[in-house]
Amino acid sequence: MDKDLAVLLLIIAVRGGVPFLVFRWQFAGGLLCILADASDSILQDALGAEPLEGHYHLVDKSFDTYYLLFEAIVAYRWLDPLARWAGVALFALRAGGAAFYELTEIRQTFLVTPNVFENFYLFVAGLRSIDPEFRIPSWRWLLGIVVFVGAPKVLQEYVMHYRESATWHFVKENILLWR
């Protein structure tokens, strides 16, 4: 089999299959989705194939929205109304931003529609795996949680999408020392 095709099938299998795990393990499944998200760049680099060349951003963003949708479905089932509706609203903000980007190709869109949902989801899912009865106590707590998990994400979006820096290459060359 052609190497590019094999890597493409592997990427589709990983990124398409892993999100189903959030229905079984809300928190661990969410963490695995992040690893799966990183896997496409890593697989391409490690195996020396570029099946997504020229289409990477479209494919990556589509799979991102796909796995966030699974997490949004889980969030929608939470019994805590503050966590549920904040989760759904943050997902809608991100999905709307991704759709707007596809229509306009303005990368800065992601700076005003940051993926705070993912960090928020993992925060609530993580605390729910410690205490299944966990509830966000008040609007003030909700605001604090969103700021706590959202601030680093806004910085990340600024670097990735406003400055258009290649994060993976920076990590690879300066942190992992993989040249």
Task: Report the site for another protein in 95-124 (rule: CB under 8 A).
Answer: 119, 122-123
Residue 152 sits in the site that holds another protein (CB under 8 A) = yes
Scanning 41-49, 53-61, 106-114, 147-155 for contacts with another protein by CB under 8 A, the matching segment is 147-155
Rounded to a whole number of angstroms, the minimum distance from the CB of residue 122 to another protein is: 5
How many Cβ atoms sit within 10 Å of the Cβ of residue 6?
Answer: 13
**Quick one: which H or E segment has residue 54?**
none
CB of 75 to another protein, least distance (A): 15
d(CA 131, CA 115): 25
Tell me whether residue 148 or residue 178 sits nearer to another protein (CB atom): 148
Between CA 59 and CA 153 the distance in angstroms is: 21
159 binds another protein (CB under 8 A): yes
**Nearest to another protein of 99, 111 (CB atom):** 111
DSSP state at residue 20: G
- Residue pair 61/98 in contact (Cβ under 8 Å)? The answer is yes
Nearest to 107 by CA among 58, 63, 69: 58
CA dist., res. 42 & res. 15, Å (int): 13
* Binding mask of the shown chain, residues 23 to 62, with x at each position contacting another protein by CB under 8 A: ----x---x--x----------------------------
Q: Which of 62, 104, 138, 165 binds another protein (CB under 8 A)?
A: 165
CB of 130 to another protein, least distance (A): 5
Q: Retrieve residue 81's tokens.
A: 């109304």
Give the footprint of another protein on this chain (CB under 8 A): 27, 31, 34, 119, 122-123, 126-127, 129-131, 148-149, 151-153, 155-156, 158-160, 163, 165-167, 170-171, 174-175
